[in-house]
Amino acid sequence: MQVWGWRIPFLFSAIGGVVGIYIRMYLTDPSVYLNVKARREHETVPIKDLFLHYKSKIGVIILLDFLTAVGFFMVAIFLATYFRIYLHLAENTALTIHTMNMILFAIATLIGGKLSDKIGRKLTLAYPCIGFIVLSYPLFCLFQSGDATILIGVQAIMSLLFGIFFGVIPSALAEILPTKVRFSGLSIGHNICMAIVGGGTPFLATHLIDCANDLAAPAYLLILASAVSLSSLWFIKEKFNQPLE
């Protein structure tokens, strides 16, 4: 049990890092990027061009990324602590449940990516958003049973929903901006959202629990983030079957 409790997550992290490095070594950059890079001397300064012509796109990236930020810090980080502190599970049990569902989360990202290539980015993103809006509070209420089997199943639903969302969000974000300002725009928008919204999620979750005296209160953060991300889809054009600009 101790092995499953804390060693396996580190093992998976190490394996993931090595696989990531190996994949990147053999990846080639898209031709559209290489063409823009070759013409760099004729392009404006990317950051200047970004703020002159694409400020609204940065806002859309931040809004779409709300569920990425809140969902990651809630589902992939906070829940392990939530199980131990608020549901009084043994540390090994909490981490074992969490590790099992992180494996499911990883598998679900593949499903999300594949699904987005079939039905489009917007529809694939919309389903998890709606799922979290409808199910977040009932799922957090089910956590209160404290039964390990129920906890596995409840977190599995969250991991599946967020995994599908997480699997398509990189492509959806990349398609918002043209190639010449894509790196600059994504780095600014994504990191602002992750630092401010995501970084504050565990603090806000514990604060909501204390203020509302309700162990299901963190669900409100997931509902709000899902509603924001869902609404941002209105401002995004579907481009999954079109070449990058």
Distance from C-alpha of 165 to C-alpha of 128, rounded to nearest angstrom: 6
8-state DSSP, 86: T
35 CB-contact burial (10 Å; exposed 0-12 / middle 13-18 / buried 19+): exposed
Tell me which of 133 and 95 has the higher pLDDT. Answer: 133
97 CB-contact burial (10 Å; exposed 0-12 / middle 13-18 / buried 19+): buried
pLDDT digits (tens, 9 = 90+) for 69-81: 999 999 988 998 9
- The number of residues making up the chain comes to 245
Residue 12 pLDDT exceeds 80 = no
Which residue has tokens 């969302």? Answer: 165
φ, ψ dihedrals at 191, nearest 5°: -75, -30
In the prediction, which pLDDT does 2 show?
46
Which band of pLDDT confidence, cut at 50, 70 and 90, is reported for residue 40? low
Residue 120 near residue 238 (C-beta atoms within 8 A): yes
Residue 143 near residue 219 (C-beta atoms within 8 A): no
Q: Which of 213, 118, 102 is nearest to 166 (CA)?
A: 102
In the prediction, which pLDDT does 1 show?
43
- Whole-model pTM: value is 0.83
Which band of pLDDT confidence, cut at 50, 70 and 90, is reported for residue 43? low
In the prediction, which pLDDT does 3 show?
47
Distance from C-alpha of 244 to C-alpha of 36, rounded to nearest angstrom: 12
pLDDT digits (tens, 9 = 90+) for 19-39: 878 787 777 766 676 676 666
Walk me through the domains of the chain, giving residue ranges and CATH numbers.
53-235 (1.20.1250.20)
Question: In terms of DSSP H, where are the helices of 79-147?
Answer: 79-85, 91-119, 121-143
- How large is the angle between the packed helices 148-174 and 91-119, nearest 10 degrees? 40
Tell me which of 61 and 146 has the higher pLDDT. Answer: 61
